[in-house]
Structure 1
Amino acid sequence: MNITIHEALRAYIDPLTEHEYAALERSILTEGCRDALVCWGDVLIDGHNRYAICQKHQIPFKVVQNDNFSNIEDVQLWMIDNHLARRSVSDFQRGMLALRKKEIITARTKHHDTNAPSVEGEADIAVPVIKPTQSRQEIAREAGISSNAVVQIEKIQRTASPALVQAVRDGTISISAAAAVASLPDEEQQAAVAGGRKELQQAARQVREKIREQKAPTKIAKQVAESEESSDVNNGNAVTSHHYGGDAEVPVLQQKIIALQSENAALLKKIAELQAALEKVHTGSY
């Protein structure tokens, strides 16, 4: 039969790496094309790599039809679910696929809401609509990854350079490290990618250390403010409780409270310095 390659569909799913493609080619050359290609009419929707290898080496293959689609979006959703079911798909690819699924369903829902029938009588016609995936928890469950990984993948989508995205796909850098490097300007991202795995890890480490340093003063200020607020409350209670015993005790209590506040602030500052020193010694995993 005549098979048509739909370029948008072929590009929709991330391509195999060179290593994966070579392994698939060896398998087909040794055992033949065991899995049938799937077509929607004459459009190939699953098995693009197998088809290319079979064509190259003149290896026979089987084709099965799937006609349960009404439009190209249905095909895309089926392709996503089909790939999410495969164990060989990486966590990054799973997250990207689940986010793409959300985009398709959300766009479809908006289109349906905009074009909903308003004529009396037509409103009774039931039109099946898939509920869009909204929360990161739902997306994470769909992809089989953590909610934190979804947040990191969204950041990579927004700010990572193409070179950095490819490094994540290739497994050169982890999702969490890539999300950190994605905070850098494009030029610095590209330089880190060009430097290889160690350079990427070093760049991610530096970004994380900078973020921790920026958060430390804020954390200490919050702790001091909470301490002072607590002291103010205690001060008010002390004044109230001792007022009937004599006003002369109030200045003495206030001086003690001020001294305790000063001592507490000094201790918090010392703790922050020790924490910063420990963080520099113990780096995180990448």
Structure 2
Amino acid sequence: MNIVVNEELKAYIEPLTPDEHEALERSILAEGCRDALVLWGDVLVDGHNRYGICQKHGLPYQTVQNPRFQSMEDVHLWMIDQHLGRRSVSDFQRGVLALRKREIVADRRARAAAAPDAASSSGESAAGASTAENAAGLPSPDPLSSREAIAKAARLSSSQVVMIEKIQKQAAPELVAAVKSGTISINAAAAVATLPAEEQVAAVVAGKDELKQAAKRVRELNKRKPREEARSDESPAATGTRLDPEASTDELQALRIRVAELTAENTELRRQVAQWQAAQPADSTPF
């Protein structure tokens, strides 16, 4: 039969590493292709690596149709759920897939909510339209409306989900590649992702040790910030003491004037004492 390989679907899930692909190839050569390839019509949905290996070595394989798919979104959601349950998928990739699922479901629900008139004119509510969309048997996907739900779907902690979101939003492509390859951990990558893009790339190019050092520097800086902020709260500005340069200059000038006045008064008093002493008669009579 004619099988169509959709490049977008083939690339939708993170490809196997060379070692993983080699292990799969050894397994198929030894035991044959045990799992059937999943098709949507003639489009290959699941089993791209198995299909490629079988084609390469002229090995037989089985196929199975999934008639429940109604759209490419259904295909994507099915692929995501399949890979979220596989042990071979890394923590980072599971987090990415769960976040991707949230976006698909949220977009689908937004479209349903934006067309209530169309649904009501056909005698259907928004919920009815959603039911019709899944009439072929696809269950309504979990909306993953909270970070905890995303973490549960990906078998991660909520903090890991936060870090993966940060990496997706802030990390340079080179840093993302380093996380995917296992060169740097999710925790360390989230720290490095806060640096300017050029510093991220430089750290990746420098290698694993430099990535660790970059993450360490960011963490130490983040630890110092609360202490510095606490010290700033005790500064004269925070306690009400004026630090205005003009005000300080005025106060200094006033002090100088006051010192001059006191010096003049002191000089005058010395002069008066000397004058009084000079006016006193000399007395040499002993007591």
TM-score class normalised by the smaller sequence: 0.7 to 0.9
1:81 and 2:78 aligned: no
Q: Which range is displaced more, 175-184 or 11-20? A: 11-20
Spell out the pairing of 1:115-264 with structure 2 (5 A cutoff).
Answer: 115-117=115-117, 119=120, 122-124=123-125, 126-127=128-129, 128=131, 130=141, 132-219=143-230
1:25 is aligned to 2:25: yes
- Which runs of structure 2 are paired with 1:44-83 in the superposition (5 Å)? 44-83=44-83
Equivalent residues of 1:95, 1:143 under 8 A apart: yes
| C-alpha distance in structure 1 between counterparts of 2:30 and 2:155, whole Å | 33
Structure 2: distance between partners of 1:28 and 1:8: 25
CA 1:113–1:188 in 2, change beyond 3 Å: closer, same or farther? same
Supply the distance in 1 between the matched residues of 2:35 and 2:92 (Cα, whole angstroms): 25
- In 2, the alpha carbon distance for the partners of 1:160 and 1:23 equals 31
Residue 276 of structure 1 corresponds to which residue in structure 2? none
Q: Offset of 1:121 from its aligned partner?
A: 6.2
**Helix, strand or coil for the counterpart of 1:126?**
helix
Residue 117 of structure 1 and its aligned partner are, at CA, apart by: 3.1
Q: How many Å apart are 1:135 and its aligned residue?
A: 1.2
User: Counterparts of 1:4 and 1:98 in 2: how far apart (Å)?
Assistant: 27
- Superposed CA deviations along residues 203-256 of structure 1, whole A, max 9, x for unmatched, are 1001111111112222456699xxx9xxxxxxxxxxxxxxxxxxxxxxxxxxxx
Q: Indicate how the Cα distance of structure 1 residues 8 and 121 shifts in structure 2: closer, same or farther if over 3 A, else same.
A: closer
Paired letter, 2:225: Q
User: Gapped runs of 5+ residues in structure 1?
Assistant: 229-286
Following the alignment from structure 1 to structure 2, what is the Cα–Cα distance between the partners of residues 58 and 153?
40
Looking at CA atoms only, which structure, 1 or 2, has the larger radius of gyration? 2
AA aligned to 2:78 is W
TM-score by length of 1: 0.74
Counterpart amino acid of residue 100 in structure 2 = R
CA distance in 1 between counterparts of 2:215 and 2:149 reads 28
Q: What letter corresponds to residue 4 of structure 1 in structure 2? A: V
Instruction: State the Cα distance separating 1:8 from its structure 2 match.
Output: 1.6
Are the equivalent residues in 2 in contact too, given 1:37–1:47 (CA < 8 A)? yes
Q: TM (normalized to structure 2)?
A: 0.74
Give RMSD over aligned pairs: 2.0
Tell me the CA shift for residue 116 of structure 1: 2.1
Percent of aligned pairs sharing the same letter: 56
CA contact (8 A) 1:109 1:130 kept: no
* Maintained 8 Å contact 1:38/1:64: yes
Quick one: distance in 2 between partners of 1:216 and 1:207? 15
- TM-superposed deviation, 1:132: 2.4
> Structure 2: which amino acid aligns with 1:2?
N
Runs (4+) off by over 6 Å? none
Contact 1:192 1:199 in 2 (8 A): yes
The DSSP-based 3-state class of the residue aligned with 1:64 is: strand
Gaps of 5+ in 2: 132-139, 240-287
Task: Give the deviation of 1:72 after TM superposition.
Answer: 0.5
CA distance in 2, matches of 1:221, 1:30: 68
